[in-house]
């Protein structure tokens, strides 16, 4: 069994400009490639786990999301970083059409995306790391049994009002590196 680095997308991999779905609006966060390179070198598989309620809300399509995801993964490859898989939840319990308007075990704070990765890739969750920028990310990590859960504090974002007690709070992605 291998350890993994689980990353939220908006606010961790890229700057969170609310419902990012176009390449022109995608701005990588400082330190993300360095963190992923070192994680890969140390044998970690890297997974992106992202709620994409913008699909449910009709702001963009799954096709738009998948196009951006392919581009993002290619950019990681250019930086010698390998993302094993991107899991996403297009669902929302209150908004959307019938296809996407529903509760889902894959929508964080539920651990579905993490557990799917664990099952498919034989991941050692106890020795894995999660980095999120919302309490719902941390809750998903805790429910799944991830050993170290980091909350990236993004200036002026809503996660800063109350912090999850069991999360290790960080101000930049480089703070995760010593834990790999």
> Where along the chain do its domains lie?
7-124
pLDDT band at 157 (very low <50, low <70, confident <90, very high): low
Q: Which of 10, 16, 124, 137 is catalytic?
A: 10
Q: Which of 8, 16, 124, 137 is catalytic?
A: 8
pLDDT band at 98 (very low <50, low <70, confident <90, very high): confident
Give the Cβ contact number of residue 10 at 10 Å.
22
pLDDT in tens, 10-49: 999 999 999 999 999 999 999 999 999 999 999 999 999 9
- The pLDDT of residue 81 is above 80: yes
Distances (CA, A) of 22 to 17, 32, 70, 138, 163: 11, 19, 12, 26, 30
Helices (H), the chain: 32-41, 53-56, 62-78, 112-121, 135-144
Phi-psi region of 38 (alpha: psi -120 to 50; beta: other; left: phi over 0): alpha
Task: Look at the pTM and tell me if it is higher than 0.85.
Answer: yes
- The pLDDT of residue 162 is above 90: no
Our answer to whether residue 10 is catalytic in this structure is yes
Q: Is 10 one of the annotated binding-site residues?
A: yes
Our answer to whether residue 74 is catalytic in this structure is no
Q: Is 16 one of the annotated binding-site residues?
A: no
List of residues 6+ apart from 158 with CB closer than 8 A: 134
Q: Is 8 one of the annotated binding-site residues?
A: yes
CATH T-level topology, domain 7-124? Rossmann fold (3.40.50)
Q: Which two tokens stand for residue 66?
A: 């998948």
CA–CA gap between residue 142 and residue 126 (Å, rounded)? 10
Identify which of 80, 81, 51 has the alpha carbon closest to the alpha carbon of residue 65: 51
pLDDT band at 106 (very low <50, low <70, confident <90, very high): very high
Q: Judge contact between 12 and 152, C-beta under 8 A.
A: yes
CA–CA gap between residue 1 and residue 171 (Å, rounded)? 30
pLDDT band at 65 (very low <50, low <70, confident <90, very high): very high
């Amino acid at each position: 069994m291998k350890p993994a680095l689980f990353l939220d997308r908006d606010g961790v991999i890229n700057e969170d400009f609310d419902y990012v779905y176009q390449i022109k609006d995608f701005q990588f966060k400082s330190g993300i490639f360095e963190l992923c390179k070192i994680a890969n070198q140390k044998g970690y598989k890297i997974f992106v786990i992202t709620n994409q309620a913008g699909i449910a809300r009709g702001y963009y399509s799954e096709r738009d999301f998948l196009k951006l995801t392919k581009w993002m993964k290619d950019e990681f490859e250019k930086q010698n970083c390998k993302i094993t898989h991107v899991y996403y939840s297009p669902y929302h319990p209150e908004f959307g059409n019938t296809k996407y308007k529903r509760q889902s075990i894959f929508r964080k704070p539920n651990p579905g995306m993490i557990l799917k990765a664990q099952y498919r890739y034989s991941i050692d969750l106890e020795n894995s790391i999660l980095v999120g920028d919302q309490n719902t990310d941390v809750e998903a990590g805790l429910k799944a049994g991830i050993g170290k859960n980091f909350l990236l504090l993004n200036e002026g974002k809503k996660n800063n009002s109350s912090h999850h007690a069991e999360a290790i709070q960080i101000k930049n992605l480089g703070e995760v590196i010593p834990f790999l």
